[in-house]
């Protein structure tokens, strides 16, 4: 029961955090994204300076972030205690999609903001793993900080892209 409550709390927090990324209006709803060929294994690397505008970079990543938000909201949290590894895998895939979004832009300001969301989601995923997979309920104490970090970085990205 504790795992189920923790799972619902974590998923809800992740959805709210990612929703902040997509809540601010962007300059163009169209998506001219180039997909990364593989998911990153660590934080996205810095790219050389480019002439991609903030608006173009934000437009490029918006649909990828929306897809990630949908993936997290589609997690069957009633089954998280029965399939903790599957739940953690979904969080991992979501974070990697955000990392790929960061890799797909060349504007350094947007790349940095998206990379921060990625890093914060990885930290949240680690809390999810500790609680659900390892059964470490003490790790849930890190939940508030991890969720706050995701919400803060997502809001900063939304502000940049508004």
Q: Count the neighbouring beta carbons within 10 Å of the beta carbon of residue 49.
A: 9
What pLDDT was estimated at residue 19? Answer: 54
Please give the DSSP secondary-structure letter assigned to residue 162.
-
What pTM value is reported for the model?
Answer: 0.71
What pLDDT was estimated at residue 105? Answer: 94
Joined together, the tokens standing for residue 98 give: 């955000």
Element (H, E) at 94: helix 84-103
| pLDDT one-digit tens code per residue, 5-55 | 455 455 555 555 555 555 444 444 333 333 333 344 444 444 445 689 999
Whether the pLDDT of residue 2 is over 70: the answer is no
What pLDDT was estimated at residue 119? Answer: 95
Q: 38 or 133, which is more confident?
A: 133
Rounded Cα–Cα distance for residues 26 and 79 (Å): 35
Phi and psi at 82, nearest 5°, equal: -80, -30
Burial 1-36 (b: 16+ CB within 10 A, else e): eebeebbebbbebbbbbbbbbbebebeeeeeebeeb
Q: Count the neighbouring beta carbons within 10 Å of the beta carbon of residue 64.
A: 23
What pLDDT was estimated at residue 135? Answer: 87
Mean pLDDT of the chain: 76
Contact 106, 50 (CB under 8 A): yes
């Amino acid at each position: 029961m504790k795992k189920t409550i923790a799972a619902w709390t974590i998923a809800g927090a992740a959805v709210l955090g990612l929703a902040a990324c997509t809540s601010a209006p962007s300059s163009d709803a169209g998506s001219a994204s180039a997909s990364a060929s593989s998911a990153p294994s660590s934080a996205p690397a810095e790219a050389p300076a480019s002439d991609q505008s903030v608006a173009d970079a934000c437009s490029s990543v918006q649909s990828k972030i929306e897809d990630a938000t949908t993936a997290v909201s589609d997690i069957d949290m009633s089954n998280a205690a029965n399939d903790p590894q599957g739940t953690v895998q979904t969080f991992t895939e979501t974070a990697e999609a955000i990392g790929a979004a960061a890799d797909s832009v060349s504007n350094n300001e947007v790349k940095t903001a998206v990379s921060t969301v990625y890093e914060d989601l990885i930290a949240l995923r680690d809390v999810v793993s500790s609680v659900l997979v390892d059964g470490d309920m003490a790790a849930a104490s890190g939940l508030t900080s991890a969720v706050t970090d995701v919400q803060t970085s997502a809001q900063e990205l939304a502000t940049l892209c508004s």
